[in-house]
Structure formats: C-alpha cells, structure tokens
Structure 1
Amino acid sequence: MPDSGASSPWLEHEGALEGLRVLDLSRILSGPFCTMILADLGADVIKVENVEGGDDTRSWGPPFQGEDAAYFHSVNRNKRGIAVDLKDPRCRELVGRLAATADIVVENFRPGTTARLGLGYEQVRAANPGVVYVSVSGYGQTGPMSREPGYDAIAQALSGVMSVTGEPDGAPVRVGVSGADLAAGMWACIGLLAALRAKERTGEGQWVDVSLLDGQISWLTYVAGGYFASGKVPRRYGSAHPTIVPYQAFPTADGYLMVAAGNDGLWRRFARAVGIGDLAEDPRFASNPDRVRNRDELLPIIEAALARWPAREWGMRLADAGVPAGPINTVDQALAHPQVRARNMIGEVEHPIAGTISMVASPLKLSATATAIRTAPPEHGQHTDEVLGAMGLGATELAELRDRGAVR
C-alpha cells in the first residue's frame, strides 16, 4: 500500500464507483451513512428530502454549523440534494423518473411506505429492471415486526447487544455510538455491491433487504457462539473480554489503560513489564483458560501493579515490551492522535454558509481509485433546479412547483 500522506498519488484518480447514480430516499443515519460511503467512492448520489424541514437531522442540534446541525453534516457530504413534496403527484412522477435512471435506490422508510408512494421495489423495477434497490428498516421486510418503526437503541436492546454492554453490577447500556444504524448502513453497502457484481453476470438487479435487528444479531458472533456451545447466557463484563484475560481497562495513577494480552506469550511479556513476572508461570495463571477461571484473583494484582504509573507512561512501557496497550482517549484526543492524522482521517470542506467544516474522512484507502471529500453537505434544496432541470423541466414549471410549495 502506498504512503497515506497528503501527497499520496491516489488522490489524483477517479473514485471506484464513478459513473454510478444513486437515488437516496433515506434520512437520519442508517441510509445516509450508506450513501455517503458510496458518494465518497465516487458515485453520484442524489439525496431527496421533503420540502418542510428536510432530513430530520438538519434540526438535531445543538451544535449547529450555519443553518444545519453538525449531525446532518457528518453523513451527507459529496451528495446533491433536492427537496420535493412526495405527496404531490407531479413530484412523485419526477422522482419515479429519477429512479428509472438510477443504478441504485436506497430507502429506509417503514416497510410499505415507498410502495404507497409509487416508489417501491416492484414499481421501480417495472421501469428499471436492472435496479439494485436497497431497503433498510428496523426489522426487515418480513416477519411479525416488519411494519413496526425501527430505532437504533431498540435494535441494540432486542438483539442482546445491550445485555452484554456495561459494568457487571450495573445497568445495561447502549453502545456509545449508534451501532445498529451504522452497522445496517455498512451491511447495506456490502449487499448492494454484491448485487452490482451479480448484475454484471446476470444483467438483473435485485432487492437488498437489511434490518437494524439482523445487523445487531450478526454482531453477536462469538458471544452467540459461546451460548450455543455452553448453554450459558452471556453476561456483562464491562470493558473486559469474556474469554481472554487480561483484556480490559485498568485504572492507573491518572486514568484508564486498555490492555489486550490476547495470548499466553503476550501475558508473559505483560507480567514482566509491569513487575509481576513471578506470576507468569503460576499454575493459576499460566494459560488463558487458567486466567479466565481465576480472573477474580488475578485482576486485583494487576490493578495494584498498574497504579504506580500514569496511563500514558504504561502505554509507552508496554509498547516497548511488545504488548498491545494504550490509554483510553477522549474524542478530542482521538481525533488529534498522530496516527489518525497520518492516515488523513480528518478532512475539511468549505460550506457556503457554515464556512470550513471539519469531518471524519473515509477509512477506505484504495491505491488506484481514492475516496475523497469533494463537496460540502448540500443546503436544503440546493440542487433542485439543477437535477430537475436536467430532466427537462423548464424555468416556468419549476417556478410553478415552487410557488405551490411542491419543491424548494
């Protein structure tokens, strides 16, 4: 992989999805996160918002940047935005025409909503047989809960993810970011890219059905595997790992240090580095299964040893010893981390109202077809005239639609 600095040669190339058109009917987080990934990769994403207020997240602040919330800006860069009233027959017809020319359609309404608007999969497919149509919902298109609205926190709760998140004696807690929404957006990307590959072979598009709950169930992986194997219901371990010890956050002289001694060799290095080398071969702790069985005896010894130095000092000492460990950064510390900066994970874009906006960049590093932050998140209705005008609408009709509140 080439050097990832600002002078990297891949910044000069077109995106991997250049030439693909995406009609984005989604809002809030799961769908917009999916379509932002596609836009970062070079796809032409046309975001459709309602006339009154637009995407809900435009008002999800403070903080605001210009007229819109920072939340909206975080997942809507590199898109063109139009604002239309989908209850208006003419606007529905126009959006249907956009869908008929799109390679991909992404929506995250409650199942059945787009069909009532004339924009469901079967309706779009009738005019565009090759379309890859992506639906992200709370519970999927089938099953007894399919028509219920989906929310990130409820998916985390129902999936069991919250039951294994939090301190052992505390209440269950949700993941600190909206993991169900973000996971669903990523699964949607994986599914639609697979569908595009299948289309190359068959010439046919298909419907990609992703749910927040399914995505969270998929995340259970080894937690579910442990339950299947043992019949024991998994419980909360705080920052600790249920089957690896030591693998958790420990208090130090000034803060918390995360340690990940994932095998017996790392355990021995760790023990020597923190001054408890005599325990490395202790029969109670010699192997990982031994340490898991005897974690309640071992952890207080480790805590006492680590209390002697600050977290960053331990981080350096353990790094020198080849042990994975590091202080737990706050968000500002993480965003300023030298490795994060070296990987160009913070980008900037000029917004016509908000000025310079900083944002988290794409984590994808492609050597020949780079991702890029090209354009700011669209203002509400910024590209309505541009997009509809390209479909043949003249200034007179656009003015009439705007006068009756059907477009912005």
Structure 2
Amino acid sequence: MNTRNDTRRGPLEGIRVLDLTVALSGPYCTLLLAGLGAEVIKIESPTGGDIARFNPPFYGKDGIHLGRMEEGDLSLSNLARQRNKRSLSLDLKSDKGRAMFHDLARHADVIVENMSDGTVDRLGVDYETIRKINPGIVYCSITGLGRPSPYPGVKAMDITVQALSGVMDVTGETDGPPMRFGLPISDLLAPLYGTIGIQAALRQREATGEGQNIVISMLDCVASLLPFEHFDVFQREGFPPRSGNHQTRLAPFGIFKTRDGYVSIAAANDKWAGLIFEAMGQPDLIKDPRYATRGPRAVNADAVNRLIEDWTSGHSTDEVLEELQAKRGVPCVRVRTALETMSDPSLFASGALQKLVHPEAGEIDAVGSGVPIRMSAGKVGLDRPAARLGADNADIYGQLLGLTADDLARLRAEGII
C-alpha cells in the first residue's frame, strides 16, 4: 500500500527513536515503529554498519545476485529492514562518538538495542548511563535469553532459542525428530513484544514523566506460547508431543494430500466432520462411536485421518475444495506455496506485502513485508527506501547537535562518522 499521498498523521509521529540494533530481531522492532510513524535514526559503525548489509542476495547494477560483486551492491535484507529509517554513521567505541551519542540521547524518546551481553555497558550507552542524561528515555533491550542470561555461555541464535523454548519438541512428525519452525520465529516474535512494550512505556510516561528499561527475551516470548495448547496436560494423557501436519485433539484438523497438491481442513466440530463423511460418500461414519464426537475422534485420529486422505488423494485439489468448502461450508483451503502467497495481489493491496525499493534504482523484483495494521485515522506504512550508510549525517548532526560542515569534515577525517 502506497502511503506517500496519505495526509493522515502517523500514530507515533513526534516520537524519536535511536536505533542501535543489528541483524533481524532489533531491526524488525524499529521497522514496525517506523511504519507506525516514529522518526527512527539508525546508528551504525562508519566502517561497515549492520551485519545485515552483508547478507545475500544483493542488488546491484546487474540486478539481483547472491555474491557481492561491487562496492555499491546493497543487501536485500538491508533494503527490507531499514525502510523508513534515517541513517547515521558513528563510532561508539571512541570518546567523541560516545559523547555525540549522549547528546543525541537528550533529544530522543526511545532507544532500541539488541547487542550481545555486556556490549552496551562497555560502550557506555547502557540504560543506567542514558537515563542520567534523559530520565524520560524508554530504553528497550531485545535479548536472546534475558539479561543477565540464565544460560551463561550459550549463544542465542534463532535455532538455539527454538531448541530451548520447547517449540521444536511440538513440531514435526509423531515418530520423527524435533523440527525447526520454518521461519525464524524467535527473531520475529520478540520484536512484536518489544513494540508493544515500548508503546505501553510511552503511555505510562505520559502519566509519570519517567521513562523505563524494557528487557525482551526471545526465549521468554516463544516459551510463553506453549501453554496455549496445554501440551503438559495432553502428554500426561498419552498424546505425543508432535502430531505432524495434524492436530490430534481436533481431528479431523490438518493437511491432507490431494491428487495434485494439498489442502488444509479444519473440521473440529461434529457437524463439519459429518459433512466430510457425507462428501466422501460414507455418511454413516458419523454414527460410528469411534468418530461420532470430538473425544473419540481424538483417540482415533490416525484412523480418521487415513480415511479422509484415502478420499482426498483420489481427487484434485479443486474437486476437494468444491465438495467441502463450496458445497458444504467445511473450512478447507488450498495449501499455497510461499511464491504463490508472495504473488497475491490482495496482500499487496492491504499493505501486508510490498515491492522493495532501491534508493537509486526504484522498485526492484523482490518482496518485503509491510506493517499489517490498518487504522481508520492513522497513517501506517513503509514508503521510503533504506538509506545508504550515513546518508543523514549532515541533516541530523546539524539539526540536533548544531554541527557545521567543517565539524563534520573533521569528524569524517578522524573516523568518528
């Protein structure tokens, strides 16, 4: 969704965010804040910046490719994650750079960081230091395992967080190994909670005048979802932790093979189960005590799933959809490929997906996520391409810190910016 001509005010307009994030979890949080209208100022080392700038694939003068071929090639990861953000280069390891950041913090509402444990303390940009400069600062740390970490020495990557969270134990086939969730779920879930926490802290600041420190743990975020399925209770009752492409306790509820693809069926109640049996030409199955109600169907889930897949696998996906969804109203849809979904015009119209825009070349053949929040009175969206490293140095340092062109030239010569 193009928001360039949208004259509505962004919900977070007037909020200034200093972005000290790298990789995915932190930058996704600040991307959401930017999409909601906050002024996000991305601060990176002048010698290279965010590690995402070096993630393949890249876009350059020869289009999209996997290996960085020219100095000017830009990572698609960076083009996706730095939209609507302004860019500063600043060496926080230097005394001058640290002092400049402290000056910037006086003009900020929010700081977001996801550096490794101890880094912000070593750099002198930690919460306790900053709140002495700006008591109203809302300071959000997105961590892997909490701070301090209860797992000393463990490197918090998405796959290690997934392993510790228990989500792998409930993902995969019943008799198969634990399985990684197909998306970097901990990297994507933590920034959602971070965004919620930041907005709640800003609301509280309106009442108290005081900022606060928010600590988000990727592990906490993912693990907090497990109880919603009561896995502990079901395992005590003999249900296996993993049920593959089916949810045993809701059978028939899962993914079923067709002659030319797969369908997803969610027939958790007795009415829908009976309608499936009717479509199969076996309406009397709903009278069978093994399949008549939800409890027995859960116990006999493997049997009922085999019966249904014996039927679906003999028909095309379109035929199954016609019999179940169109004729009988049973929840049933085609299982789309990722490429099919990322080509859906309705998702581009809603703003959930959008074409990436290169700062010089314009729209390119790659898709980025949008901000899937629609508001009647607020402008939400990502309509400015990622900036090149340091693109806003003159503007921001001039406006906020009063630095002149000569000042900036000296700082560049010293490697500070």
Say whether the fold is shared (TM-score over 0.5): yes
Distance of aligned partners of 1:59 and 1:312 in 2 relative to their CA distance in 1, 3 Å threshold: farther
Q: Is the 8 A contact 2:198 2:214 kept in 1?
A: yes
Aligned residue for 1:326, secondary structure, equals: strand
Q: Is the 8 A contact 1:24 1:105 kept in 2?
A: yes
Question: What is residue 370 of structure 1 aligned with on the other side?
Answer: 379
Q: Deviations over 1:177-219 (max 9, x none)?
A: 1100100010111111111121122221111110111011112
Deviation of 1:228 (Å): 4.8
Deviation of 1:221 (Å): 2.5
Aligned residue for 2:287, secondary structure, equals: coil
Distance of aligned partners of 1:114 and 1:186 in 2 relative to their CA distance in 1, 3 Å threshold: same
Distance of aligned partners of 1:334 and 1:47 in 2 relative to their CA distance in 1, 3 Å threshold: same
Question: What is residue 47 of structure 1 aligned with on the other side?
Answer: 42
Residue type matched to 1:80 in 2? R
Q: How many residues align?
A: 401
> 1-side partners of 2:356 and 2:346: how far apart?
21
The structure 1 residue matched to 2:410, chosen from 384, 400, 403, is 400
Deviation of 1:354 (Å): 4.2
Question: What is residue 243 of structure 1 aligned with on the other side?
Answer: 249
Aligned residue for 1:23, secondary structure, equals: strand
Q: What does residue range 75-224 of structure 1 map to in structure 2 within 5 Å?
A: 75-145=81-151, 148-223=154-229
Question: What is residue 354 of structure 2 aligned with on the other side?
Answer: 347
Question: What is residue 60 of structure 1 aligned with on the other side?
Answer: 55
Confirm whether residue 324 of structure 1 aligns to residue 336 of structure 2.
Answer: no
Confirm whether residue 37 of structure 1 aligns to residue 32 of structure 2.
Answer: yes
Q: Deviations over 1:86-120 (max 9, x none)?
A: 11111111112112221111000123211221110
> 1-side partners of 2:234 and 2:12: how far apart?
42
Aligned residue for 2:99, secondary structure, equals: helix
Aligned residue for 2:111, secondary structure, equals: strand
- Unaligned runs of 5+ residues in structure 2 are 65-71
Aligned residue for 1:280, secondary structure, equals: helix
> 2-side partners of 1:280 and 1:142: how far apart?
55
Deviation of 1:11 (Å): 3.7
> 1-side partners of 2:210 and 2:393: how far apart?
30
> TM-score normalised to the size of structure 1?
0.92
> 2-side partners of 1:316 and 1:146: how far apart?
55
Distance of aligned partners of 1:377 and 1:257 in 2 relative to their CA distance in 1, 3 Å threshold: same
Deviation of 1:284 (Å): 0.6
> 2-side partners of 1:91 and 1:33: how far apart?
25
Q: Deviations over 1:267-313 (max 9, x none)?
A: 22233234332212321111111111001221111111101222243
Confirm whether residue 337 of structure 1 aligns to residue 332 of structure 2.
Answer: no
Q: Deviations over 1:14-33 (max 9, x none)?
A: 11101100111011111110
Question: What is residue 69 of structure 2 aligned with on the other side?
Answer: none
Question: What is residue 289 of structure 1 aligned with on the other side?
Answer: 295
Aligned residue for 2:384, secondary structure, equals: coil
> 1-side partners of 2:54 and 2:337: how far apart?
26
Distance of aligned partners of 1:303 and 1:167 in 2 relative to their CA distance in 1, 3 Å threshold: same
Deviation of 1:322 (Å): 1.4
- Unaligned runs of 5+ residues in structure 1 are none
